[in-house]
Amino acid sequence: MENQMDCIFCQIVSGKIPSDVIYQDEEVIAFRDINPQCPVHILVIPREHFTSLIDITSHEASLMGHMISLANQLARDEAISDSGYRLVINCGKQGGQLVPHLHLHLLGGRQLSGQLG
Ligand code: DGP
């Protein structure tokens, strides 16, 4: 899938929209959320445009594994791996997804509620 001109996160990938990037490689980019819900709130996204989680198949198993292992490494780097953290992927309108480019939230640095919805 081609990157999309009107997608905010594709524009972050291309550098057209500035962001606080903390990691990038040929597959993914990680940056701080513009509206942090926790002391640590980082988004991990694929460079390639996938509109949401529903577009992910077994072909993307390696990409998804990479995103999760990167989030774990960032949790260690941000010193929240021992205290605990949460990884979230919102999917679609009722799933709470606002930006239609697949992204993984890394949240931590405070006590999170046990509620999931
Ligand atoms: P979601 O509800 O899962 O689609 O979360 C989208 C997140 O993206 C939300 O926490 C705010 C963040 N966000 C939206 N626009 C920007 C932006 O331009 N820059 C950054 N860094 N984050 C953004």
In whole angstroms, how far apart are CA 12 and each of 21, 22, 33, 34, 45? 9, 13, 12, 12, 10
Q: Check if 66 is active-site.
A: no
**Rounded mean pLDDT of 56-85?**
98
Whether 52 is in the pocket of ligand 1, judged by its Cβ within 6 Å, is no
13 contacts 28 by C-beta, under 8 angstroms: no
What number is the average pLDDT over the span 79-93? Answer: 98
Q: How far is the CA of 76 from the centre of ligand 1 (A)?
A: 22
| pLDDT > 60? residue 3 | yes
Taking the C-alpha atoms of residue 67 and residue 2, their distance in angstroms, rounded to an integer, is: 19
Taking the whole predicted model, whether its pTM rises above 0.95 is answered as yes
What pLDDT does residue 81 have?
Answer: 98
pLDDT reading at 1 higher than 60: no
Please compute the mean of the pLDDT values over residues 74-94 and round it to a whole number: 98
How many whole angstroms from 82 Cα to the centroid of ligand 1? 26
Mean pLDDT confidence for 29-52 = 98
Q: Tell me, in angstroms, the distance from the centre of ligand 1 to residue 31's CA.
A: 10
Helix H, strand E, coil C: the string for the chain is CCCCCCCHHHHHHHCCCCCCEEEECCCEEEEECCCCCCCEEEEEEECCCCCCHHHCCHHHHHHHHHHHHHHHHHHHHCCCCCCCEEEECCCCCCCCCCCCCCCEEEEECCCCCCCCC
Q: Which two tokens stand for residue 28?
A: 């993914």
Residue 2, pLDDT > 70, answer no
CATH hierarchy code of domain 8-108: 3.30.428.10
Integer Cα distance of 32 and 10 in angstroms: 15
Q: For position 96, what pLDDT does the model report?
A: 97
